[in-house]
Structure 1
Amino acid sequence: MATLNFLFLGFLFLLVASLVYLALNQWASDDFEKRRLGLVQPSRPAEHAWLKRMQSKMMALLLRMSPWAGTAAPEDAMQPSALQMRLLNAGIRSGLAVPVFLGLKTFLTFFLPACFVMLTWLLQLSWSELMFWTGLMAAAALGYYTPNVVLHQLVKKQQKILFHAVPDALDLMRLCVQAGLGLDAAIERVGREMRLSYPQLSDEFALTGLELRAGSSRAEALRHLSQRMGLPDIEGLVSMLIQADRFGTSIAESLEVHSDALRTKRRLIAEEAAAKLPIKLLIPLIFCVFPSLMTVLLGPVVISIAQHLFPLVNG
């Protein structure tokens, strides 16, 4: 037990000392840079300034810890990595998103085991050595994989919103094209019109419009749009638009056909969800509603029978 306590204290001391060193080092370097460059922050409320400073320090700490996570860089520097593509699918476009994400994984991988050790020490829990190391590794695994789970949920939420928004956007694009606008101008116009209803899709179209203005080809900009959204239906739409532009077929008809297909798919998904609803309600009905209903219906009968039957049995 003494050896286990010594390991507790040693691990906790090393972890806290490392985090304090990184925080103080980053704090001192930031202050030195500000003094050297003579940066002057505008006046603002004290609580907002304190919050901004804490956010910047935490961001800097995560950036310093990101190399510890280790990730494979893409062979082509112009192509985004798999992690960066997942962040783009979730609607996170910051250039610091990848290092901050990796730094957060590293921080949680060490922070959660430290919390486990601290709680074990403070509460004087009598773990066996096997249980202690199992809990320590489980806490580290939880800290390492929790950001992945959260990112996966964000991607699912973003793609669900985009999937429901695309048919309306295609109808608007078709109307714009039929009114005489080119496809590039139609994309920008639809992005502006859908700012209030679907801001996520509006941002994607705005980025595509900026790429087209910057000189990218239409095919390249549309492929980037498909990669950012990460939806198979959008990949099919992009391929169809590229083929229509290449062979000179009607873009308005292509948009109408694809919009109808997406609406049909959306309706089928809704019908499938409605068909699954009775099966999903079966378990709550069996374990929650039926016992309560039987208690309400049969409870008075059982009590009445017991009141009349037990005296006869005892007599």
Structure 2
Amino acid sequence: MQSLINTLTDPKFLIAVLAAVAAAAAVFSIGVTFFSGGSNMRQRIRRVALEREKLRAEEMSRLRGTGKDQGPRSIRQAAGRSYMKNIVERFSLEKAFRDENTADALARAGYRTQGAMTTFLFMRFVTPFALFTLSFAWMSLSLFADRPLWMNALYALFLGLVGAYLPNLMLKNKTQKRQQSIRRAWPDTLDLMLLCVESGMSVEHAFKRVAKEIGSQSVELAEELTLTTAELSFLEDRTRAYENLARRTGLDNVKSVMTSLIQADRYGTSVGTSLRVMAEEGRESRMMEAEKKAASLPPKLTVPLILFFLPVLFIVIISPAMIRVFSQNVHLS
């Protein structure tokens, strides 16, 4: 019994047992991969294909704005859109606030459905009145309670007039952030498209593949490329899909690339050559933008340097001399 215990507690025996277990686990995992993986390979491929088609249908439905969500949230959204639509139609807000550039401005911000247009018009109509009411109540009850009501109403009216431009400012801010994200990822997108086209892919498959790859860098650009892929698949003319992409982004570099693709498709020239030229220009423009930011850095640092760094430097340099002078004066006195 004692010998058995000594054997079980022997370090060499424990190392050998652990090594045998590890070897058996490795052999078992490799064997399972080789023997059981090939039997259901066709079923796995079929399931992946079905899942891909399902995701594609859902993405197409979402991008076209025809997707129907189920549940209480969708019911509340439908109710909200219904009363907004009634107010917009009753007061003819489309004639008052909508022009030929409103739809393009919303598309550049990522809002492409009719519900987004209704919400934007409703907010432009309601925001001034809501801001006027809230500011008047707040001034009259707390901030300027001791002042006359007509003065508080005048201040609230000014804030209400500012609130009339608040939806436009928010839309502009959203557009700038979206365009900045697309602008940063666009040179890499051109490089990926060039690789896909030169490898033998068609333009539709290149857009689809690049949309999947660029999503980790810019979700907005991936969304636009996915929508362009859908338009290339069901529109009769590719020119409309390219023009829609340039119109939705509102960027000059995207517009120039789409113009090159339109010319290549119309006159039968090489798409790869056009993409190569545009990719080189995109890299050069990005480098020039980086150099411009680097050149503008010294003037921006001048004021903080004068205000914060130089006084501390003078104190550090002059303090020992001043301390020595004061100490000598004390000794002399």
TM-score normalised by L of structure 2: 0.67
**Alpha-carbon distance, 1:216 to partner:** 3.2
Matched ranges for 1:27-176 at <5 A? 62-66=84-88, 70-72=93-95, 81-123=100-142, 124-127=144-147, 131-176=151-196
Letter of the 2:139 counterpart = T
1:69, 1:105 within 8 Å by CA — same for their partners in 2?
no
**Alpha-carbon distance, 1:265 to partner:** 0.5
Q: Deviations over 1:93-138 (max 9, x none)?
A: 3331122122223332112211221122212534467753542232
SS at match of 2:112: coil
Q: Deviations over 1:5-34 (max 9, x none)?
A: xxxxxxxxxxxxxxxxxxxxxxxxxxxxxx
Q: Partner of 1:192 in structure 2? A: 212
**Alpha-carbon distance, 1:224 to partner:** 0.5
Measured in 2, the distance between the counterparts of 1:58 and 1:301 equals 74
1:211, 1:221 within 8 Å by CA — same for their partners in 2?
yes
Measured in 2, the distance between the counterparts of 1:134 and 1:303 equals 60
SS at match of 1:197: coil
2:103, 2:117 within 8 Å by CA — same for their partners in 1?
yes
**Alpha-carbon distance, 1:270 to partner:** 0.9
Q: Deviations over 1:247-278 (max 9, x none)?
A: 22111011010011011011101110111111
Letter of the 1:252 counterpart = G
1:170, 1:259 within 8 Å by CA — same for their partners in 2?
yes
Higher relative contact order, chain-length normalized (CA < 8 Å, sep 6+): 1
Structure 1 residues 289 and 105, CA, compared in 2 at 3 Å: closer, same or farther? farther
Point out where structure 1 has 5 or more consecutive residues left out of the alignment: 1-40, 43-48
Measured in 2, the distance between the counterparts of 1:70 and 1:291 equals 59
Q: Deviations over 1:189-245 (max 9, x none)?
A: 222232333221111111111112223311111001110111111111111111111
2:81, 2:118 within 8 Å by CA — same for their partners in 1?
no
Name which of structure 1's ranges 214-223 and 99-108 shifts more when overlaid on structure 2.
Answer: 99-108
Q: 1:267 aligns with which of 281, 287, 293?
A: 287
Letter of the 2:271 counterpart = I
Structure 1 residues 153 and 168, CA, compared in 2 at 3 Å: closer, same or farther? same
Measured in 2, the distance between the counterparts of 1:65 and 1:295 equals 67
* Identical amino acids, percent of aligned pairs: 30
Q: Partner of 1:253 in structure 2? A: 273
Measured in 2, the distance between the counterparts of 1:308 and 1:203 equals 75
Report the count of equivalent residues: 261
1:65, 1:106 within 8 Å by CA — same for their partners in 2?
no
Measured in 1, the distance between the counterparts of 2:120 and 2:214 equals 30
Q: Deviations over 1:146-186 (max 9, x none)?
A: 22122112111111111121221122222222222222222
Measured in 2, the distance between the counterparts of 1:302 and 1:109 equals 62
Q: RMSD value over aligned CA atoms?
A: 3.4
Q: Partner of 1:16 in structure 2? A: none
Measured in 2, the distance between the counterparts of 1:178 and 1:107 equals 53
Q: Partner of 1:183 in structure 2? A: 203
Structure 1 residues 244 and 283, CA, compared in 2 at 3 Å: closer, same or farther? same
1:87, 1:93 within 8 Å by CA — same for their partners in 2?
yes
SS at match of 2:165: helix
